[in-house]
Structure 1
Amino acid sequence: MVLLADVVATSAAVAATRSRNAKTSAIADLLSRLDGAEVNPATALLAGELPGGRAGVGWSALSALDVEPASEPALTVTDVAAAVDELRSIRGSGSARRRADALGDLLGRATAREQEFLVRILGGELRQGALEGVVIEAVAAAAGVPTEPVRRAFMLSGQLPVTAEEALRGGEPALAAFHLRVGRPVRPMLASPADDLDSALSGDVSVEYKLDGARIQVHRDGDEVHVYTRTLREITSAVPELVDLVRGLDCRSIVLDGETLALDDSGRPRPFQETMGRFGAQNPREELLHPYFFDCLHLDGADLLDLPLRRRLDALERAAPRHRIPAALSPTAERAAELLDEALAAGHEGVMVKDLDSPYAAGRRGRAWRKVKPEHTLDLVVLAAEWGHGRRRGRLSNLHLGARDPDGGPPIMVGKTFKGLTDELLAWQTAEFLRRETGRDAHTVHVVPDLVVEVELDGVQTSTRYPGGVALRFARVLRYRPDKDAASADTVEAVRAMLPRG
Structure 2
Amino acid sequence: DLAEQLRRLLTRATAPEQQWLRGLLTGEVRQGAGDGVVLKAIAEAAGVPEAAVRRAVMLAGFPGPVARAALVGGEEALAAVRLQVGRPLRPMLAAAAPTVTEAVARVEGPVAVESKLDGIRVQAHRAGGEVSLFTRSLEEVTDRLPEVVEVVAGLPGGDCVLDGEVVALARDGRPHPFQVTGARTASSADPDRLRAEVPLTTFLFDLLQHEGHDLVDLPAADRWDRLAALAPGQLVPRTVTDRPEEAERFAADRIAEGHEGVVVKDLAAPYAAGRRGAGWIKVKPRHTVDLVVLAVEWGSGRRRGWLSNIHLGARDENTGELVMLGKTFKGMTDRMLQWQTERFLALETGREGHVVHVRPEQVVEIAFDGVQASRRYPGGVALRFARVLRYRDDKPVEEVDTVQQVRRLGGPTDR
Common fold by TM > 0.5:
yes
Match of 2:142 among 210, 221, 236: 236
Q: Which amino acid aligns with 1:227?
A: L
Match of 2:156 among 242, 250, 271: 250
Instruction: Calculate percent identity across the aligned residue pairs.
Output: 40
Q: Distance in 1 between matches of 2:173 and 2:218?
A: 34
1:314 maps to 225
2:6 maps to 78
Q: Which amino acid aligns with 1:334?
A: E
SS of 1:125's equivalent in the other structure is coil
Q: Which amino acid aligns with 1:137?
A: K
* CA distance 1:127–1:266, shift in 2 (3 Å): farther
Q: Which amino acid aligns with 1:374?
A: P
Within the alignment, does 1:416 sit opposite 2:305 as a pair?
A: no
Deviation, structure 1 residue 123: 2.3
Contact 2:366-2:389 within 8 A present in 1 as well: no
Deviation, structure 1 residue 454: 10
Q: Distance in 1 between matches of 2:132 and 2:30?
A: 29
Provide, for residues 272-327 of structure 1, a one-character-per-residue CA deviation record: whole Å limited to 9, x for no partner: 11111110233210201111111110111111001110111011101111111001
Q: Distance in 2 between matches of 1:313 and 1:455?
A: 38
TM-score by length of 2: 0.70
Deviation, structure 1 residue 170: 1.3
1:183 maps to 86
SS of 2:164's equivalent in the other structure is strand
Alpha carbon RMSD of aligned pairs, Å?
4.0
Within the alignment, does 1:344 sit opposite 2:255 as a pair?
A: yes
* CA distance 1:456–1:464, shift in 2 (3 Å): closer
* CA distance 1:131–1:463, shift in 2 (3 Å): closer
Match of 2:100 among 177, 180, 197: 197
Higher strand proportion (structure 1 or 2): 2
Q: Distance in 2 between matches of 1:142 and 1:454?
A: 40
1:137 maps to 40
Contact 1:462-1:469 within 8 A present in 2 as well: no
* CA distance 1:309–1:475, shift in 2 (3 Å): closer
Q: Which amino acid aligns with 1:118?
A: R
Deviation, structure 1 residue 416: 2.1
2:274 maps to 363
* CA distance 1:230–1:288, shift in 2 (3 Å): same
Provide, for residues 422-465 of structure 1, a one-character-per-residue CA deviation record: whole Å limited to 9, x for no partner: 9xxxxxxxxxxxxxxxxxxxxxxxxxxxxxx99799xx787834
Match of 1:221 among 100, 111, 127: 127
Contact 1:255-1:296 within 8 A present in 2 as well: yes
Provide, for residues 227-256 of structure 1, a one-character-per-residue CA deviation record: whole Å limited to 9, x for no partner: 000100000000000001111001211111
1:146 maps to 49
Provide, for residues 387-420 of structure 1, a one-character-per-residue CA deviation record: whole Å limited to 9, x for no partner: x8xxxxxxxxx575999x9xxx789987624248
* CA distance 1:369–1:401, shift in 2 (3 Å): farther
- After the TM superposition, which residues 266-285 of structure 1 pair with which residues of structure 2 at under 5 Å, given as runs? 266-282=172-188, 283-284=190-191, 285=194
Q: Which amino acid aligns with 2:312?
A: F
TM-score by length of 1: 0.59
* CA distance 1:474–1:266, shift in 2 (3 Å): same
Within the alignment, does 1:473 sit opposite 2:359 as a pair?
A: no
Q: Which amino acid aligns with 2:52?
A: P
Q: Distance in 2 between matches of 1:469 and 1:163?
A: 42
Provide, for residues 164-210 of structure 1, a one-character-per-residue CA deviation record: whole Å limited to 9, x for no partner: 11111111110010111000001011011112111111323111011
Q: Which amino acid aligns with 2:186?
A: G
Q: Distance in 2 between matches of 1:401 and 1:320?
A: 51
1:123 maps to 27
SS of 2:335's equivalent in the other structure is coil
Q: Which amino acid aligns with 2:366?
A: F
SS of 1:191's equivalent in the other structure is strand
Instruction: Report the number of matched residues.
Output: 336
